[in-house]
Chains A and B, each alone.
Chain A
Amino acid sequence: MSGDGAPTPPGPAPGPAPGTAPGTADEPVGEGAVPAAAAVDPAVTEHLDEPTRAVLADPGWRRLHPVTPVLRAWKVIAVALAFLVGNNLDELARIDVPAWVLLGSLLGALLVLALVGAVFSWLSWRKMRYRLDAEAVHLESGILWRQQRRAQLDRLQAVDVVRPLLGRLFGLAELRLEVAGGAGSKVSLAYLREEEAQRVRNALLAAAAGVRLEAAGGEVRADEAPQREVAEVTPGRVIASTLLSGATIAGLLVLAGVGVAAVWTRSPAPLLGAAPALLGLLSASWQRFSRSFGFTVADSPDGLRLRHGLLEQRSQTVPPGRVQAVRISQPLLWRPKDWWRVDVNVAGYGQGGDAGEQSTVLLPVGTREELARVVAVVVPGLGTPEESPFDVVSRGLVSTGDDGGFVPAPRRARWLDPVAWRRHGFRATEHAFLARSGRVLRQLDVVPHARTQSLGAAQGPLQRRLGLASVVLHSTPGKVAPRVDHLDSATAARLLAEQAVRARAARAAAGPERWMTRPADQPPAEQPSAERPLADQPPAGEPPAGHPGEGPAGVSADRS
């Protein structure tokens, strides 16, 4: 079909954005005209609001925002400045010239750098354009070495809208798509106007979901799929949890140590020596704090929505079925408060250095009720007929031995792990595999059966003597590496055989990559929706579904 078949949206956004048209003709890549077949099926766009539909219905090439080069150039300057000041300050101070000459030449150098950066950024902006259709996102970039990237939407793993501090001043945002093609496979559209980033994200998710099969059941999809708040982290708790984290304790210990040393030697040398380490710890704590700030988790038909950040704000959307594994862990000092932290593996996340690092947090700090709710969203079908998801998770977090339906490591495992042997154990529910470990630092890994990549078992000489073996579940790259240590070797053998069967069955039953195209007869196992068995959670902390406004009661109660 051609573009005119689509319900052509009236109004502002549809046509080429200002500044789009002139550039396209002289592009070396030539075929500015888009193949008509790539345009979007009107059925997909039917339920979307006007601007989102406009994004979808206009399959032409689009430019990034014109302010992009300025922001990029500023980055170059900032890096150069940091380099100059950070590395060469001593040398600069030693040079024997008047201060104003020094300052002047410095400023001049910076100016030149800024100019070069600006020209370069401007050129690269001119050569960068993107386009989306129902199948894929296309991105072209590069000044001398042209790169054309096509990201298949049914492989979409996550969509992030990142608003760096500077971008926020201009009302700009970066759109990042993860498609799990290994390191460097993400598609980054930087920068777009915030509204445009939102629209493109919604359009992408709608197209990736394959919304055509009267999917929304006749209900009108808003510009953003409706969301339901699952958990929220209050600022007070972010501060408290940061203060109680390991980095703080390490910092205090170091400080005390060097303090004593300084008094002992009567010189400030130890303090100065420890300064870099302390600064490092401080900055780690600060980063954790600033990332966790204002953290909210919400559930929507498009998947999980995470929103967080103090200076750099980030809103992540992880479509249903994209979470590969979950780890719930607890720093020692959080135990009195019963706080936990939830990390996830999402293919594509966790491969881009620290940018990946921060995306893998599902809940920086939360009570058991909150984390159970969050985990139940990303691992559908976690509960069993007898137990709610809360019970399953909660038992996995604190139980020992064969409590809570877990298969424990045998008693003889104490020779290999005298401290935590009682905690080693696993449990396989209908839809997920749970691996429990850690006594001092408790930990629970949850892997949906359908997301098991491969399995392994290993046995060292000591384990063989004791008749033990460890079983490992392989997941996509990330923080979660589920394993069950020191199982009885017969149990391990059985687990290996049974888990292979379970994973296969779950994969066969798993939903389609385009999560809205599920045939009606399939159970909505992976569909995040209101009938998700959350209502059977016991504690009063459960908010009625569909009241996104009021946060979970557990949050406000905990405000201390």
Chain B
Amino acid sequence: MSVPGLEPFAPEGVQWRRVSPRLATVQRIALLAWLLPIALVALVLAALLTWWVATAAVLALALAAWGWWVVGRQVPAWGYAERDDDLLVTHGVLFKSIVVVPYGRLQFVDVQAGPLDRRFGIARVQLHTASPSTDAAVPGLPPEEAARLRDRLAARGEARLAGL
């Protein structure tokens, strides 16, 4: 157990493991995948009909630029740490959040990877306890690391399993 720090999001003695920067690439591609077509359609419409439809394109592009920047800030903020008895997950820059999940409370662990994730070699580990509000997921892990984490969590959860 670490000595309680003064900052809830940086407990003392905790070395955060960060997620893969490829997560940013995936999220940016996903972002552009729906904003760019909108901008394109708006531009075409602007050329065909009236010029002011182009504002929609400008908006979409601005949104894309903002999202690009936000993703760049958020991805490095994801972190997780395996302690002796619990797993810590933190994320968020403007709205910070940290979750402490005791291994003994884990009901099951999901590993998910969409087509884009697989293409870039990342996966998402989702932790489930008996509480639906336990919002503990670590995205952007390399598949080997995701599998390792999953097995490790499962093993530790088994060793410490209690009832609800």
Which residues of A are in contact with B by a Cβ distance under 8 Å?
A: 154-155, 157, 180, 321-322, 324, 347, 451, 453-461, 464, 469, 471-472, 474-477, 481, 489-490, 492-494, 496-498, 500-501, 503-504, 507, 510, 513
> Which residue of the partner chain, among A324, A451, A477, A501, contacts B1 with CB atoms under 8 Å?
A501
The 13 listed contacts between A and B (C-beta, < 8 Å) are A155-B163, A347-B130, A454-B99, A454-B102, A459-B97, A460-B95, A464-B96, A472-B133, A474-B131, A497-B1, A497-B4, A503-B102, A510-B162
By the criterion CB–CB under 8 Å, are B134 and A453 in contact? yes
> Which residue of the partner chain, among A461, A476, A503, contacts B164 with CB atoms under 8 Å?
A476
Query: Contacts of A451 on B, CB cut-off 8 Å?
Result: 164
By the criterion CB–CB under 8 Å, are A456 and B131 in contact? no
Given contacts A155-B163, A500-B100, contact A459 B95 (CB under 8 A): yes
Interface residues of B in 1-40 (CB under 8 A from A): 1-2, 4-9, 11
B85 within 8 Å of A by Cβ? yes
User: Quick one: closest B residue to A325, CB to CB?
Assistant: B131
User: Quick one: closest A residue to B87, CB to CB?
Assistant: A454
By the criterion CB–CB under 8 Å, are A504 and B4 in contact? no
Query: Contacts of B6 on A, CB cut-off 8 Å?
Result: 489-490, 493
**Complex: A464 Cα to B92 Cα, angstroms:** 13
B159 within 8 Å of A by Cβ? no
**Complex: A494 Cα to B96 Cα, angstroms:** 17
Interface residues of B in 142-164 (CB under 8 A from A): 162-164
Interface string of B86-102 (1 = CB under 8 A from A): 10000000111111111
B126 within 8 Å of A by Cβ? no
User: Quick one: closest B residue to A489, CB to CB?
Assistant: B8
**Complex: A477 Cα to B142 Cα, angstroms:** 32
Query: Contacts of B7 on A, CB cut-off 8 Å?
Result: 489-490, 493
> Which residue of the partner chain, among A453, A493, A504, contacts B130 with CB atoms under 8 Å?
A453
By the criterion CB–CB under 8 Å, are B100 and A455 in contact? yes
Q: At the interface, is chain B mostly helix, strand, loop or mixed?
A: loop
**Complex: A457 Cα to B101 Cα, angstroms:** 12
**Complex: A453 Cα to B131 Cα, angstroms:** 6
- B104 to chain A: closest CB distance in Å? 6
- A485 to chain B: closest CB distance in Å? 13
User: Quick one: closest A residue to B105, CB to CB?
Assistant: A453
Given contacts A472-B133, A503-B102, contact A497 B164 (CB under 8 A): no
B82 within 8 Å of A by Cβ? no
Q: How large is the interface on B (under 10, 10 to 19, 20 to 34, 35 or more residues)?
A: 20 to 34
Please count the residue pairs between chain A and chain B whose beta carbons lie under 8 angstroms apart in the complex. Answer: 108
User: Quick one: closest B residue to A504, CB to CB?
Assistant: B85
Query: Contacts of B2 on A, CB cut-off 8 Å?
Result: 497
**Complex: A459 Cα to B86 Cα, angstroms:** 21
B132 within 8 Å of A by Cβ? yes
By the criterion CB–CB under 8 Å, are B100 and A456 in contact? yes
Given contacts A180-B164, A347-B130, A472-B133, contact A456 B95 (CB under 8 A): no
**Complex: A454 Cα to B164 Cα, angstroms:** 11
By the criterion CB–CB under 8 Å, are B104 and A507 in contact? yes
**Complex: A69 Cα to B96 Cα, angstroms:** 56
Query: Contacts of B130 on A, CB cut-off 8 Å?
Result: 180, 347, 453, 476
B43 within 8 Å of A by Cβ? no
B136 within 8 Å of A by Cβ? yes
User: Quick one: closest B residue to A450, CB to CB?
Assistant: B162
By the criterion CB–CB under 8 Å, are B163 and A456 in contact? no
The 6 closest A-B pairs by CB, nearest first: A474-B131, A453-B131, A493-B8, A497-B4, A455-B100, A457-B8
Query: Contacts of A489 on B, CB cut-off 8 Å?
Result: 6-8
Given contacts A477-B131, A493-B7, contact A458 B96 (CB under 8 A): yes
User: Quick one: closest B residue to A471, CB to CB?
Assistant: B8
- A111 to chain B: closest CB distance in Å? 45
Given contacts A496-B11, A504-B85, A507-B104, contact A456 B164 (CB under 8 A): no
**Complex: A456 Cα to B163 Cα, angstroms:** 21
**Complex: A454 Cα to B131 Cα, angstroms:** 8
By the criterion CB–CB under 8 Å, are B100 and A453 in contact? no
10 new A-B pairs (CB below 8 Å) besides A460-B95, A497-B1, A497-B5?
A347-B130, A454-B102, A454-B129, A456-B98, A456-B133, A456-B135, A458-B98, A475-B133, A481-B133, A510-B163
By the criterion CB–CB under 8 Å, are A500 and B8 in contact? no
Query: Contacts of A481 on B, CB cut-off 8 Å?
Result: 133
- B146 to chain A: closest CB distance in Å? 20
By the criterion CB–CB under 8 Å, are A469 and B131 in contact? no
- A349 to chain B: closest CB distance in Å? 12
By the criterion CB–CB under 8 Å, are A459 and B96 in contact? yes
User: Quick one: closest A residue to B103, CB to CB?
Assistant: A504
> Which residue of the partner chain, among A180, A453, A459, A476, contacts B8 with CB atoms under 8 Å?
A459
Query: Contacts of B95 on A, CB cut-off 8 Å?
Result: 458-461
> Which residue of the partner chain, among B9, B86, B104, contacts A457 with CB atoms under 8 Å?
B9
**Complex: A453 Cα to B134 Cα, angstroms:** 8
- B103 to chain A: closest CB distance in Å? 10
**Complex: A453 Cα to B9 Cα, angstroms:** 19
By the criterion CB–CB under 8 Å, are B99 and A493 in contact? no
**Complex: A464 Cα to B85 Cα, angstroms:** 28
Interface string of B67-88 (1 = CB under 8 A from A): 0000000000000000001100
By the criterion CB–CB under 8 Å, are A500 and B131 in contact? no
Query: Contacts of B4 on A, CB cut-off 8 Å?
Result: 493-494, 496-498
User: Quick one: closest A residue to B95, CB to CB?
Assistant: A460
Interface centre among A180, A453, A475, A500 (most CB of B within 10 A): A453
- B132 to chain A: closest CB distance in Å? 5
Query: Contacts of A490 on B, CB cut-off 8 Å?
Result: 6-7
By the criterion CB–CB under 8 Å, are B131 and A475 in contact? yes
User: Quick one: closest B residue to A324, CB to CB?
Assistant: B164
**Complex: A477 Cα to B5 Cα, angstroms:** 31
- B94 to chain A: closest CB distance in Å? 5
**Complex: A457 Cα to B135 Cα, angstroms:** 11
User: Quick one: closest B residue to A476, CB to CB?
Assistant: B130
By the criterion CB–CB under 8 Å, are A492 and B8 in contact? yes
> Which residue of the partner chain, among B5, B9, B134, contacts A454 with CB atoms under 8 Å?
B134
Interface residues of B in 98-140 (CB under 8 A from A): 98-102, 104-105, 129-136
- B12 to chain A: closest CB distance in Å? 9
User: Quick one: closest B residue to A348, CB to CB?
Assistant: B164
**Complex: A492 Cα to B96 Cα, angstroms:** 13
> Which residue of the partner chain, among B9, B99, B104, B135, contacts A459 with CB atoms under 8 Å?
B9
**Complex: A500 Cα to B104 Cα, angstroms:** 12
**Complex: A490 Cα to B9 Cα, angstroms:** 10
Interface centre among A454, A455, A459, A460 (most CB of B within 10 A): A454
Given contacts A455-B100, A489-B7, A490-B6, contact A513 B163 (CB under 8 A): yes
